[in-house]
Structure formats: structure tokens, C-alpha cells
Amino acid sequence: MDILGQDIKYLPGVGPQRKKMLSNELGIETYGDLLEYYPYKYVDRSKVYTIHELTGEMPYVQVVGHILSFETFPMGPRKERVVAHFTDGTAICDLTWFNGGKYAKQNYRIGTKYLVFGKPTVFNNRINFTHPDLDDAAKVDITTMGLQPYYNTTEKMKKSGLNSRAIERLTKTLIEKLPTLPETLPDFIIAERHLMGRDEAFRIVHYPQNAKDLERARVRLKFEELFYIQLNILRYASDQRRKYRGYVFSVVGNAFNTFYSQYLPFPLTGAQKRVIREIRKDTGSGRQMNRLLQGDVGSGKTLVALMSMLIAIDNGYQACIMAPTEILAEQHLQTIMAFLKDMDIRVALLTGIVKGKRRKEVLDGLLDGTIHILVGTHAVIEDTVQFARLGFVVVDEQHRFGVAQRAKLWSKSTNPPHVLVMTATPIPRTLAMTLYGDLDVSVIDELPPGRKPVKTTHVFDARMTSLYDGIRQQINEGRQVYIVFPLIEESEKSDLKNLEDGFEVLKQVFPEFRLSKVHGKMKPKDKEDEMQRFVSGETQILVATTVIEVGVNVPNASVMVILEAQRFGLSQLHQLRGRVGRGADQSFCILVTPYKLSEDTRKRIDIMCDTNDGFRIAEADLKLRGPGDLEGTQQSGMAFDLKIADIARDGQLVQMARDTAQPIIEEDPECHSDKYAILWKRLRELRKTNINWGVIS
């Protein structure tokens, strides 16, 4: 048996009780799990300070000296504070124990030379170390101490004695026990990428002598982690391409050409033309298309999707567009029908509210092929929905649909249809390569002509009166306004109360205007009616929660006020801002926050005020929040358990891993070559672990 698979309870110092704690709190079950439980920071133990040099602002430091005397201060029944007065000849400092003082008095000797390590603070005008580490200076060789690792632990663990030092000791025991670990990368990759060996990297990452070695060890371990993810994604994508033939759309015919020459509402941007060419090439190639279309809110993705669906219709196939909500599905339907005007193309809607006779008509029309385009929600993937010849599928806002749902669409057809996945949440390239590694990526990076960028400003909530005046002025000029309250979780009662109370306050502030109110707790019909009143211009102010984040299109709305903006993520703020700026007028987004903000929140607000570029915002969001928190990645099961790499900060390594994996898959798509045997063996081992590889693609 591989030693890394050995049960952790057999490691000296662990045993059944500690094994239970390590397993429950950190998921550490085996030697390998402990080896891959990496330190989160390191403290330099190679430098010794004098007490005279210390200040209360310094990080962890060490000093060498001896204890002069002990003093004990009672702290209530059976509790005491023990203080040791300590000197190195330059000054005196205090070592303090609130717990374990009895142990300190019994075990540390006055006059013996100790190496003290801890965080200096100032108390009673004297440097103080609380609960420091003490080592006998005669038994420590400072020149070999290097950097001390620090491991994250939980409160529960600390209470039972499993703190960072305890984890460090267990890791040390493990590393001393381990034989030389086998290599998991071929020599040519190690040489080509100037990587450290695997065995050396594991030993150094836990016990580095210096920062340079540590950096090289971390690069090696990060690269390997990212490389196997990329290798697996590319292998999966290559399999799909070989396995599934795509329908060949050989002609661009009457439907496309008629629309292009007679019905196109405005000239296409260069970016839209480029994306249509890419889709055209894919659908004519004989392989099944899987393409991700990224484009900011309002960049014209729906028009590109429609023109691609017309190519499918020209080749005798049906098309389908799937949206995450009923409101968005209905909006797509209206948009598509407005684009097509009186063209001889039948478009139908299928959502949960299409019932009875209407539903039967839709199902019959799909089965006999008389419906050309179906617009719907996930009702589309129900078993009762069958197509005559489904050839092209558009999935809007992919992150709201799981992979299993996408796969269900494939089963509606003898060959899988071509798939175009659209998202208005721009995804940084490094994340797209990992989350959507099996999809080719197209980007619409131009806005249609005549669009003015939205002006974003930050206002403190103490200045609401002047904000109300600005809103009044905009409405008097004929515009409409969104005011958004932060109901992030639909279950938060206090938020709902804030919205209800806020709505009443706003009615009093603006008695001369009509207001609509929308939130996720309302019945779909009531929500639809309220939205409709705003869309038609009957109401001037829409008070809402984030239910309007996706897809509401009101060109006359020019002001977006986001209350308590500090509670929203960057992607969400950007999505909400995208609801305005859809007409020719200058639009405004006002972020309202209290005065007291954390450092991260201030950065988020500043980024929003500085740029309208969704990709810059997504990059910043990834850096601030990490990949697991990004809009949608968690709920669709795509956040995967990276032990040491960080997609946000290791973008270059992600690219390097992909560039290394790509030619290997091209050369050995069947994964049989002896040249790469070490890789396929390792990939099989990893696929047995708890990483859910299936959802990565």
C-alpha cells in the first residue's frame, strides 16, 4: 500500500481521539492529507532581536536572554496571571501566562538562557509577550531554524491542544518517517518548466530554510495541482469532440439573409460579426459546438444568439433558448419577436405557467417541427418535451444551470445539438479556462454605437436628502429610477421588513410620483404585474431587491440607486448597474453606504466608480473574494478543492499548466502512449479521490 494512503491514526502522536478531531475539523484522514495540509504563513526564525529594539507594532520576533524572577497575580477563584521578568542585557520585558502559568513556574528556570518567540505588545510601558514559546537556547541552532510554518486550526482543536505548533510537530514526524516520494511528472516537464522535484518540494514547503527555496517549492506544488486539472479538462473535451459528431450546418440561407438584409435593427459591431463567424465555422465543421459567449450587459448577445439560431433553421433544424427565470424567458421572447417582426418563423414560449391547451399546442408544434424556436426556462428539459429536430441550443446565464441539466438537453436529439452558453457575468480568463475548460470562448468586447457609459458615484447614507433631490430632477425630465434594497437571502425577514418600511418612507418622500415594488417573496403574477407597470412607464420608481439583477430591460430607466451597497459583491453590483444605460440618455448608478467601511469594501466601491469594464471588475472580484465565492460557481458545484494553488493569484501558472497539457492531449488523445504513462497513471489515481471532476467541465 502507498504510504500516503496510510490511516493518520497510526502516525506517532495522533491515535484514535486526535484522528477523529483531525478528520471532523480539517478532513485529514491519511498521511497524504496531512502532507497536503499546507501552512498559511511563515515566520522568519533566523533573526534574533534585542529587547531594546522591540516595539508593539512588530510581528512575531525572537529574543535570547534569561528569567530574572516570577510574579503571580490572582484573577478570581482558582485563576492567576503569571508574569516572568526577562532580560537580554539591553532591557527588561515581561512574559505573561493567563493559562498554563503553573507549568511555566515549574519548568522554566531562573538564570537559564532561553530563546523566546512571540508577538510583542506594550503593557504598563514595557514590552510584553503573552503565551510565548520558550526553547532552551543551548539546544537550539538558530542558523538552521529557517522559516517557521503556521497552520490554520479551529477553536475546537486549540482547546484540545491541537494548535499550529502541534500540527507542525505531527508534520515533522511524518516527513521524517516518509521514504523518498515517487515523482508524478515526467522528467521533460520538470526540465522544461524548471521545476523542483516532488519529494523535495513537499519537505521544503513545510520546513523552508529561506524564502527563495519556499517559493520554488510552492511553484512546483501549485503547478502540479493546476496541470492535472487542465489535463483532465482537455482530455474530457477531446473525448467529447471525438465521440460526438455535430450536425453540419452547410448553408446560410433564406432566414438568415432575409433577416440580415431587411430586419437587422442596427449595424452589427465588429465584435458581434467576429463571434458569428466563429459560430458559423464551428457549426459547419462536423463537430459538435460547445461555445461560451461572454459579453457585458447590453453588448448584444441575444442578437448574436438569434442570428445563430436562424442558421440552424436554414439547415432544417429547430433551436431553443433556455433562461434561468420566467421573467427573463418572457423578455427573450418579446425581444426575439420584435427582432423577427413579420418573418415566417414560429416562436413559442414554454415555462411553468404555460399550461393546459396552450402547453399541448407547444408540445405538438415541437414534435411536428412547425415551431422553429422555443424560448423557455428549465421546463424545456422535462421528459415530456420532445423535438422533431433540435439542432441548436442557447443557454443563458450558464452558472444558474448545472452540468446535469445541460446534459439532459443533449438527450433530446440523436446527435447532441450545438450549444452556445451565454453569460453577462464576465469571467476572468484564468477562471474560464478552469470552470469552462471544455468550452471554446468568444467575447463581445464592444458596446453598440450610441451607448454612453454609466456614471457611478458613491454617496454616504447621511446625504440622502440631496440624493432624493437628484432623483426628483431626473423623473421630472421624464426618466425612471430603480431603488434596490439588499435582500440577499430570500429568507432574511429583517431585510424584507427594511424593504417594506423603506417603500412606505419613499412613498412619503415622493408623494407626486407612482411607485412599484418587487421582491422574490411575491407571487409570480403579482411580481409580473408590478414589473409591467414600470416597463410601460405607469410607475416612475421601482423599489426592488436583486430579483431585477438579470434581464429587465427598460431603456427609459436612467438611475440605479443601490442602498447598503457594501453588502453586495462586485459582480452583483455590476449586474445591477447594467439595468440602466440602455437608452441614449446619460445614466447614473449611485452606491449608498454608511461611513464606516472595511478596507475590502472600500476597494470594491472604488473599483465600481473607476470602471465599467466587466472583465476588470471580474478580475478584481476574483482577487478580493477568491474563486469559490464568485457568482454562481458555488451553487453549480464548480468550486473545487485546490489545496495550494489560487486561481485568482496564480493566473500565469494556470496558463502555463494549460500550455503544457494541450500538446500532450493532441499527441496522445487516447491516453495510451508509454511516453506519458506516468501522467495517465496519476490522473487515474486523482480521479478516484474526492475531487468531483465531472462538474469541472
The conformation of residue 136, written as its DSSP 8-state character, comes to E
Q: How many residues does the chain have?
A: 697
Q: 364-380: per-residue pLDDT in tens?
A: 999 999 999 999 988 88
d(CA 327, CA 344): 25
pLDDT band of residue 401 (cuts 50, 70, 90) is low
255 touches 384 (CB < 8 A): no
250 has pLDDT over 90: yes
Instruction: Report how far residue 4's alpha carbon sits from residue 293's, in angstroms, rounded to the nearest whole number.
Output: 42
Cβ pair 280, 311 in contact under 8 A: yes
Nearest CA to 403 out of 633, 627, 630 is that of 633
3-state secondary structure (DSSP) of residue 484:
strand
What pLDDT score was predicted for residue 424? 75
All residues at 6 or more sequence positions from 588 whose CB lies less than 8 Å from its CB, including other chains: 454, 455, 456, 457, 470, 474, 558, 559, 560, 580
pLDDT tens for each residue of 466-513: 999 999 999 999 999 999 988 645 555 666 777 888 899 999 999 999
Q: What is the pLDDT of residue 594?
A: 93
Extract the C-alpha cell encoding 540. 416612475
Task: Assess contact for 370 and 347: CB atoms under 8 A.
Answer: no
Q: Which amino acid is at 95?
A: L
Cell numbers at 696, concatenated: 469541472
d(CA 406, CA 381): 9
Distance, in Å, from the CA atom of 604 to the CA atom of 609, rounded to the nearest integer, reads 9
Write out the three cell numbers for 9.
491514526
Read off the pLDDT of each residue in 667-688 and give the average, rounded to a whole number: 88
| Short-list 340, 353, 136, 375, CA closest to 258 | 340
Strand partners, 295: 444
Q: Where are the alpha helices (DSSP H) in 284-422?
A: 301-314, 326-340, 356-367, 403-410
Handedness of CA 44, 48, 53, 56 (dihedral sign): positive
What per-residue confidence (pLDDT) applies to 690?
A: 45
Decide if 350 contacts 325 (C-beta within 8 A): no
Question: Above 50 in pLDDT, residue 257?
Answer: yes
CB atoms near residue 26 (< 10 Å) = 18
Which pLDDT score is estimated for 167? 95
Q: Which backbone phi and psi does 219 adopt, to 5 degrees?
A: -60, -45
Other beta carbons less than 10 A from residue 690's beta carbon: 6
pLDDT at 403 over 70: no
Q: What is the mean pLDDT of the chain?
A: 86
pLDDT at position 636 is 32
Return the pLDDT at 405.
Answer: 65
- In this predicted structure, which of 153-157, 282-286, 456-460, 546-550 has the lowest mean pLDDT? 546-550
In which band, very low, low, confident or very high, does the pLDDT at 631 lie, cut at 50, 70 and 90? very low
Please name which of 629, 697, 643 lies closest in space to residue 231, comparing C-alpha atoms: 697
Q: For residue 347, how many other CB atoms are within 10 A of its CB?
A: 20
Which amino acid, residue 232? N
Residue 454 neighbours by CB under 8 Å, 6+ apart? 560, 577, 580, 581, 587, 588, 589, 612
Which residue type is seen at 449? P
Written as nine digits, the cell of 196 is 523542483
| Residue whose entry in the numeric block shows the C-alpha cell 445563430 | 308
Res 281: pLDDT: 95
How many other CB atoms are there within 10 angstroms of residue 435's CB atom? 26
Specify the amino acid at residue 612.
N
CB 418 within 8 A of CB 393: yes
Per-residue pLDDT tens over the stretch 110-144: 999 999 999 999 998 999 999 998 989 998 887 77
Count Cβ atoms below 10 Å from residue 176 Cβ, excluding itself: 9
CA distance 608 to 586: 17
> Does position 327 have pLDDT exceeding 80, yes or no?
no
Predicted structure pTM score: 0.69
pLDDT of residue 262: 94
The Cα–Cα gap between 20 and 119 comes to: 31
- Cα 470 to Cα 183, 204, 466, 467, 589: the distances in Å are 66, 60, 6, 5, 12
* pLDDT at residue 420 greater than cutoff 60: yes
